Amino acid sequence: MSKAHITFVLGGARSGKSRFAEDLAIKSGLSRCYLATAEAFDPEMENRISRHQEDRGPDWRTIEEPIELVQVLKDNAQKNTFILVDCLTLWLSNLIGREKELCTAFSEFIECLEDLEGSVVFVSNEVGQGIVPDNKMARDFRDEAGRLHQMLAEKANDVYFVTAGLSQKLK
């Protein structure tokens, strides 16, 4: 079992999952770190990232890291720190885009949880509840996200599903 308190927050797009995770961080009273996995490849994404940063305000330290999630967690998960990782599906997209070996990346990620301290909340998009995608790449992405989510949910202390801004505790 991890020394850190691990929370997993899952939900659909615009479900309120990030806001719920941010509220958990604020209520913790700990020093807050936002680990962002998004990359801005176009003006719309640049605006989205800026809006998120403005909404969070100055009480957050932000680290932007699209690939080396494990190393950043190892370097920053400390006793009196709350890390919010947003989000795992973007991290997965980044790994796929750089043709990283997913089984290895997932294993290293799950293994690193054992050595973390403090509180860490992982946010991710549930992509497996819709229709079956019509192309192989989308089906593979959905399947890999599902595998990653199951692995994390098994290790997490708490798991929440957020819909329409309402959270439901699953574990």
Could you list the active site residues? 52
Tell me if the bond preceding 87 is cis, omega within 30° of 0: yes
Please spell the DSSP secondary structure of 64-93, one letter per residue: E-SS-HHHHHHHH--TTEEEEEE-HHHHHH
Pairwise CA distance, residues 9 & 124, whole Å: 6
**Hey, which residues does 163 pair with through a beta bridge?**
166
Pairwise CA distance, residues 80 & 29, whole Å: 9
